[in-house]
Amino acid sequence: MQIYVGKNGQQLGPYTLLQINEMLEAGEVNGDTLGWMPGESGWKPLRELPPVLSLIQSIEKGKLDAELARSDRPTLPPPSSIPPQRLPSHAISRFGARMIDLMIFQIILSSVWILPDPPQSMPNPDDYENFRDFFAALWKVSQDTSNTEQLEYAWKVLYFQLGSVFAWQLIEPIFLALTSTTFGKWIFRLRVSGPDGGRPGFFRCLYRSVLLFLFGMGAGFEPLRWIANFFAFFRIQNSGVAFWDEQAHTRVDQDPVGPGRSLLVLLVLIALMAADYFLPR
């Protein structure tokens, strides 16, 4: 196909359709430029030549799409106003935050809930370095049903441990609904949010805590708690989402933890372990 172009009183060409397309894109000719091709009765604007008209429409559509794309492109804020990046929470941070929260709550609760003096045959907490070893010894003693007084005391202590864990599951939703965090989570710069990115409601947090208590802590029973912790840890580590957050439609994000915050975490843990060891139980 040969097409002639008339510009400035001169006849130019012939050109192929591909050459006409290149000239249109380069702006050398436009739809109003006169043209002629075999079969036409006379010179006409290029837009009236059917083969050229489709080229013009295609080029104009491409320009329009590019203009729309530029107008829809979001304007980036200046660097100073860009909010800090929130990262998916790390499993170690989440478990560390929960450990700190439970330690603080149990220390406070133990100062209010005073246990009776143990029988002479019962393990003495002063003989153990931490609560875990003490409770393990109590569990062993609780299996001996021959001593009623000893058995009754053992169950009271075990009820205290389970009760403190369960009670925290009821108190934590209040903190999350009001502030999106707890002290332990604040230490690790963790924040719990709802589906809309804001603070989750109390009942959503309560539902989350119940699921966490059952599936993340094995309802507080050994060895279910360790099994539940194991699977929960690796699920969070691999997918970044815990089962209870997935079901409750909550999200746990974490701001970057710098050296200063890491030092604060270490100091808090040392202080809590010291309180656990030295405070009367």
pLDDT digits (tens, 9 = 90+) for 35-59: 888 878 777 888 788 777 777 777 7
What distance in Å separates the CA atoms of residue 272 and residue 182, rounded to the nearest whole number?
A: 16
Range 79-84, long-range pairs (CB < 8 A, 24+ positions): 84/255, 84/256
The reported pLDDT for the residue numbered 8 is 72
Q: Which of the residues in the chain have pLDDT under 50?
A: 81-83, 85
pLDDT of residue 179: 93
Per-residue burial over 142-154, b = 16 or more CB atoms within 10 Å of its CB, e = otherwise: beeeeeeebbebb
Residue 69 has what pLDDT? 59
What's the CATH class of domain 3-72? alpha beta
Domain boundaries, the chain: 3-72, 87-278
pTM here is 0.55
Place of tokens 């097409």: 3
Task: Please write the tens of the pLDDT for every residue from 203-230.
Answer: 999 999 989 888 888 876 767 878 888 8
**pLDDT value at residue 85:** 47
Determine if the peptide bond prior to 14 is cis (ω within 30°): yes
Q: What is the pLDDT of residue 176?
A: 92
pLDDT at residue 233, as a whole number? 86
Cβ atoms of 130 and 172 within 8 Å: the answer is no
